[in-house]
A and B are shown apart, each in its own frame.
Chain A
Amino acid sequence: EAGVTQFPSHSVIEKGQTVTLRCDPISGHDNLYWYRRVMGKEIKFLLHFVKESKQDESGMPNNRFLAERTGGTYSTLKVQPAELEDSGVYFCASSQRTGRGYEQYFGPGTRLTVT
């Protein structure tokens, strides 16, 4: 079974440009999450989808960030326009309910560098 995949693995853009990150969850997982880790800081929750609906977007930093999950499958996270402080590693995770509750499976992350 394929794990959570993210694309690209690394992106370098200039301030003011637009970048779109993609996450493909594990097949059949209704829950999809985005997190971000800024250098030296904690991994921060951004938002949570249940299928195509946003369950919780309380962690989204501002309106320059737009997340979508069309059809409840893959998700994209767009940053427009990018600022220097947006640099960091963006993680995606997915989960599904099991007999032991929920376990979030994480992708390898996308390292975003804004110069």
Chain B
Amino acid sequence: GNSVTQMEGPVTLSEEAFLTINCTYTATGYPSLFWYVQYPGEGLQLLLKATKADDKGSNKGFEATYRKETTSFHLEKGSVQVSDSAVYFCALSDRGGGGADGLTFGKGTHLIIQP
């Protein structure tokens, strides 16, 4: 079956540090890949997505590149801010619908940014 593995948290960084959150996946076919973010007290929000190999998704200074050869979709940001503190979820959709069907999620990584 499908699965998503992401680094366990919490991850604690200082403001302006470089961020990497690793995500690897197992899926049949050609999945679409997503990063969702959940800020305290809020619902999940789509942060970025990539629908085919070598695509790069980006938003709010975050980037992730779809690497089919390593089945990875690592999330990066060059300089984090306190406001980036949240839980980050990596997810996939495996039916090529670009997200129309149900998503498979990782466990989530709690990111804490200290001033």
Contacts and interface: CB of A to CB of B under 8 A. Distances in A.
Contacts of B49: 101, 103
Given A56-B101, A109-B43, A101 B107 contact: no
A64 interface: no
Contacts of A102: 97-100
B43 A104 contact: no
Interface stretch (A12-20, A37-45, A72-80): A37-45
Contacts of A40: 107
B17 to A, nearest CB: 27
A88 to B, nearest CB: 13
A107 B43 contact: yes
B51 A101 contact: yes
Interface string A84-115: 00000001010101001111111111000000
Give the dominant DSSP class at B's interface.
loop
Contacts of A8: none
B102 A45 contact: yes
Nearest to A93: B44
Given A48-B102, A101-B98, A106 B107 contact: no
Interface in A6-45: 31, 33, 35, 40-45
A104 to B, nearest CB: 6
B43 A91 contact: yes
B27 to A, nearest CB: 14
B26 interface: no
Interface of B: 4, 32, 36, 41-46, 49, 51, 89, 91, 97-108
Interface of A: 3-4, 31, 33, 35, 40-48, 55-56, 58-59, 91, 93, 95, 97, 100-109
Given A97-B100, A106-B43, 15 more contacts: A31-B100, A35-B105, A42-B105, A45-B102, A56-B102, A59-B102, A95-B100, A101-B51, A101-B100, A102-B98, A103-B99, A104-B99, A106-B36, A108-B42, A108-B43
